[in-house]
Amino acid sequence: MAGVQELGKEDIPVVDAFEGWLSNVTQEDCDLIDDLMTRYSVYEHSQADDLPAVPPELAQLEADMKSLADWMEGYSKRVA
């Protein structure tokens, strides 16, 4: 096929580092990211005019950012 890859003809190798990274993801990690994405993705998507997105309170934003920073620190230790 003149150098064109045919689908299903050859396995595509997965980088070992990616496998290590993925194997360290827990349900709690997914829950945290899902919660934050649900809370903050509203600002990236269209909203009905009669129900506009309300910005988070400063205390909530600070708590979420601290939670994310703590998670990042803990996760980086798990995958190291």
pLDDT digits (tens, 9 = 90+) for 37-66: 988 887 776 667 777 778 889 999 999 999
80 within some domain = yes
Q: Which domain holds residue 67?
A: 26-41+55-80
Q: How far apart are CA 75 and CA 77, in angstroms?
A: 5
Residue 69 pLDDT: 97
**pTM (whole model) above 0.85:** no
65 within some domain = yes
50 within some domain = no
Closest listed residue to residue 78, CA positions, set 35, 25, 34: 25
72 within some domain = yes
10 within some domain = no
37 within some domain = yes
Indicate whether 1 pLDDT > 50: no
Overall number of domains in the chain:
1
Cβ atoms of 36 and 68 within 8 Å: the answer is: yes
59 within some domain = yes
